[in-house]
Copies of this chain bind each other. A is one copy, B any other.
Amino acid sequence: MKVQFFLDILKPHHPGLDLLARTLMDINGVNKVSIKVDELDQKTASLHINIEGINLSLDEITEVLATMNCALHSVDEVVFEAED
């Protein structure tokens, strides 16, 4: 099943977007990650993250985000699609 999650994330200034994206790409089944900065505060950044892949689990993604000190603020949209 093709899955897409659109997430709002709160991230401390470190790690950078670069490392965060690479770490999410390492999750089994993920084939695309795009991260956009929504707002920069003194100690944190609000991010829109779009993760696409096959049979992704939101729990696993949330755990990986936690290891990067990122908090899942909200899930804005989910898209599930049967594979052809």
Contacts and interface: CB of A to CB of B under 8 A. Distances in A.
Given A18-B58, A75-B18, A81 B40 contact: no
Contact of A75 (B30, B37, B78, B79): B37
Q: Which of A16, A76, A79 has the most CB of B within 10 A?
A: A79
Nearest to A52: B81
- How many copies of the chain does the oligomer comprise? 7
B77 A35 contact: yes
B25 A80 contact: yes
Contacts of A32: 79-82
Interface of A: 1, 5, 16-18, 21-22, 24-25, 30-37, 40, 57-58, 74-82
